[in-house]
Amino acid sequence: MSKARQLADLGNVYDDGALSNRNLLINSGMQVAQRGTSSSSAGYQTVDRFRFTSSDMDQLAFTQSQDTTGPSGFTNSYKITVTTPETTTEAEEQLFMFQAIEAQNLQQLGYGTSDAKQLTLSFWVKSSVTGAYCVAFYQNDGNRLITSTYSISSANTWEYKTITIDGDTSGTINNDNGAGLELYFFLSVGPDRKTTDSTSWGTWTAAKFGYGQVADVAATSSATWQITGVQLECSDTASPFEHRSYGDELARCQRYYNKIVGDVINTGIANGLSQSSSTGTFVMTFPQEMRVAPSLSQANLGMTDHTNYTSAVSGVSYGSISKKSLRFGLTGTAVMTAYRPASVMAASVGGYLAFDAEL
């Protein structure tokens, strides 16, 4: 077959958009979960880049988890399970999952111009609660909002959904490392959060935020809601899901959060110098440049000067910190010899050092 014929058979493959990097979201196949696979708390707790929020819920208890089931082609999903339901979903109460997208990754959308591009969202979802669900797109820099809905038709069945929204010709997305667009999946919404139509772009108000939400996962005993294969692309139609490798997704996630965990006791985490019998200074270079200079957290760490070992780190102090590297100090029990090469170790399985630069 001639090369001309081969190219003809490809059709408009070069005109129909990028073959890779189409998805504006990160970790959409729910592969990476650096923090853990299950939690009964809100916030960034399990699947990377997806945050779960329970706002003003009085009785609600739940678990969020990285589940090992999904529709055909997916081995993971993000799952919410209600363990204690909310008695009644009242004013100001809301339950949602969201991902924030860095503004400088959205410049191709052309918001604020006459050439503002459409966005298409596609995803697989399963819930025990049927009915209409709200999806909200919030534009941070311009304080702008648009919402749409999808419906769960059959309980406990994976369903594929697509939503297309218009570009915002009056919007603003700054070219910086702040949040440019936030994508919200509502599970429950109080009555005051859905009284005003928000199906076209306009200024955010609380009354618009969950417009169209009918299903109430929070108030349903033992309710479940799962999602995977979430794709947001600059297009007027949905394309097949862009499967990225685990390594690729992990690297993208590490711009926002990086956790170094001791899989076995005494795993080496960082190297440096003992400053005294109880203190050490250590240096780390991050595997990816982080969005901003991160905050640091740790648990179950020890220090060693390679002769003596302390399994009780009681304090952390910062030296210089940037988006690329960190110099930090640890304080522990007084067993080391000053001015020797030293290492930070996992004092027990699961000991960790974590860096957070989330939006």
The model's pLDDT over 308-353, given as tens digits with 9 standing for 90+, comes to 998 889 888 888 899 999 999 999 999 999 999 999 999 999 999 9
Cα(145)–Cα(122) distance, integer angstroms: 19
Structure token pair of residue 7:
């190219």
The Cα–Cα gap between 65 and 70 comes to: 13
Q: Look at residue 12 in the predicted model and tell me its pLDDT.
A: 43
**Which ranges of the chain would DSSP assign to H, the alpha helix?**
3-9, 246-253
Pseudo-torsion of CA 112, 115, 121, 122, nearest 10°?
A: -170
Tell me what pLDDT residue 53 has.
Answer: 98
Q: 296-326: string of b/e by CB count within 10 Å (b at 16+)? A: eebebbbbbbeebbbbebeeeeeeebebeeb
What pTM did the predictor assign?
A: 0.93
| CATH class given for the domain over 257-356 | mainly beta
Scored b (16 or more CB within 10 A) or e, 169-198 reads eebebeeebbbbbbbbbbbbbbebbbeeeb
Which 3 state secondary structure label does DSSP give 180?
strand
pLDDT of residue 312: 83
Q: Is 240 left (phi over 0), alpha (psi -120 to 50) or beta?
A: beta
Low-confidence ranges of the chain (pLDDT < 70): 1-19
pLDDT for 18 equals 60
Question: For the domain bounded by 3-253, which CATH number is listed?
Answer: 2.60.120.260
**Quick one: pLDDT at residue 17?**
54
Evaluate whether 280 touches 328 at the Cβ level (below 8 Å).
no
- Distance CA(275)–CA(340), nearest Å, equals 8
* Sheet with 51-55, side-by-side order of all strands: 51-55, 94-102, 179-189, 131-139, 144-152, 202-203
Domain coordinates in residue numbering, the chain: 3-253, 257-356
